[in-house]
Structure 1
Amino acid sequence: MQEWFANLANSFTKTFITSDRWQLFLKGFGVTIRVALLALLMGIVIGILVAIVRTKHDSRKKNAHGFGNVILNILNVICQVYLTVIRGTPMMVQLMIVYFVIFASSRNSVGVATLAFGINSGAYVAEIVRGGIMSVDAGQMEAGRSLGMNYTQTMRRIIIPQAIKNILPALGNEMITLLKDTSLMTVTGAKDLMKAAQTVTAVTYQPFMPYISVAVIYLVCVMVLSKLLAIFERRMRNSDRR
């Protein structure tokens, strides 16, 4: 047992203490969090826009005509293709296509990874938001229109604020999934947590401590996010009762 603890301490020292290798993990953690947050914000913006287009298309009057409806039909087709392609292909494949094909001349691996994750997240957020919008009573839209607000104003001031309460748990799960998926960006050369673990492993030839440490870091981040989401949901429920 003493020998096992001695080996564990030696592995910890080589992984974090020797040559200040802990700084690699710290910098990698910063890159991981930054990419996850920026990609989530991008995904939320894309998701809301796609959800609004699809909801507007589904709720319009049948056999409606006019230039506006032609544009809406085109946008809806684009949204459907986007959702089908993104949700139907693996995240790893999308990341490699964006980095090695579309932005092959770029060396900004972090920026490209953020864009790829944001586009991927937007497809899932779109369906989450769309489901939340559809869960709001149809009378809310009619009430907003009767007050003189147009479709966009009604969505922004009445429908979406109510939908957010319904989609928060699913949106929280998407945030957690996105955070874990950021480990894939190491294939682009981005210096994230996984890249730090690979770099240390290549030097020490001891993969146990680096990869277990990265797993623990991700686990702690997910637990913290889950706790914060639970607190936020509880406060929102309490505010509804007042």
Structure 2
Amino acid sequence: MSFSFLPEYWPYFRDGVYYTLVLAFLTVVIAVIPAICLALMRLSKSKILRFISGAFIEIIRGTPMLVQVSIIYYGVFGAVKLPNYMLFGFMNFAMFLPCIIALAINSSAYVAEVIRAGILAVDRGQTEAARSLGMTQGQCMRMIVLPQAVKNILPALGNEFVTLVKESSICSTIGVSELMFGANLTRGATYQTMGPLLLAAALYLCMTFPASKLLGYVERRMRRGDAR
């Protein structure tokens, strides 16, 4: 095991860390919108809407992310000519967009269940009180339920970010220059295996460990507010 590759190949790992963090952050942000729609559809009185959202969630959660990324990249975007330019100097837009869409679709299925659980955790009596004051169902959801549900949802969204930091490594299979791609590129060029992989593992840990500790702190603060 040797780290003699670092002086020459460190930029691949540095850019891979940036790419991984951008992918994870944008995926969570983008996934929230369809996830809210899916959660509200799951809670709808319409059987059709419940069936559509339920089927979508089960299909996404029941198939591997690698298959989903491949379908989006080779199938959906295979016939679309995306502009081949570099974002921030090292992100290939033609690969970045399909990857982030695939990750967002996958994440939305999981976040939708988180949001649904957060909404159901709000006391039903508050909904009844709001309706008794003349609010419509939409006003009640927008002004009473969702603001309170956010408090229950935020820690889980943070956990989803931590998960996506690790799961974004699947994008290396289609040539996206994230952290694992940099490790594999270094392995192929230097014929060193353990060094690049251990460095990638250490960098993933450096990204996820502080985020996990921060989430734990936020959750403790929220519980302290509930106790008061």
Which residue in the other structure is 2:173 paired with?
A: 187
When normalised by structure 1's length, the TM-score is 0.82
- Which contiguous aligned blocks of 4+ residues in structure 1 show a shift greater than 6 angstroms? none
Q: State which of 3, 23, 28 in structure 2 corresponds to 1:12.
A: 3
Which residue in the other structure is 1:36 paired with?
A: 24
Distance in 2 between residues matched to 1:125 and 1:30, nearest whole Å: 24
When normalised by structure 2's length, the TM-score is 0.87
Distance in 2 between residues matched to 1:165 and 1:175, nearest whole Å: 16
What is the aligned-residue identity percentage?
A: 42
Which residue in the other structure is 1:49 paired with?
A: 37
Question: Is 1:166 matched with 2:157?
Answer: no
Give me the CA root mean square deviation. Answer: 1.8
Q: What's the CA shift for 1:100?
A: 0.8
Instruction: Give, as a single letter, the amino acid of the residue that structure 1 aligns with 2:7.
Output: I
SS of the residue 1:56 aligns to: coil
Q: State which of 13, 26, 50 in structure 2 corresponds to 1:25.
A: 13
Q: State which of 51, 66, 74 in structure 2 corresponds to 1:77.
A: 51
SS of the residue 2:49 aligns to: helix
Distance in 2 between residues matched to 1:47 and 1:127, nearest whole Å: 8
Which residue in the other structure is 1:61 paired with?
A: none
Distance in 2 between residues matched to 1:179 and 1:156, nearest whole Å: 31
Which of structures 1 and 2 has the bigger CA Rg? Answer: 1
Contact 2:28 2:157 in 1 (8 A): no
Structure 1 unmatched runs, 5+: 1-7, 58-71
| 1:117-196 correspondence to structure 2 within 5 Å | 117-196=103-182
Distance in 1 between residues matched to 2:162 and 2:144, nearest whole Å: 28
Q: What's the CA shift for 1:163?
A: 2.1
Contact 2:17 2:179 in 1 (8 A): yes
Q: What's the CA shift for 1:161?
A: 2.4
SS of the residue 1:12 aligns to: coil
Which residue in the other structure is 2:90 paired with?
A: none
Q: What's the CA shift for 1:89?
A: 0.5
Q: What's the CA shift for 1:164?
A: 2.7
Instruction: Give, as a single letter, the amino acid of the residue that structure 2 aligns with 1:37.
Output: F
Contact 2:166 2:204 in 1 (8 A): yes
Which residue in the other structure is 2:218 paired with?
A: 232
Distance in 1 between residues matched to 2:187 and 2:38, nearest whole Å: 42
Between structures 1 and 2, the one with greater helix share: 1
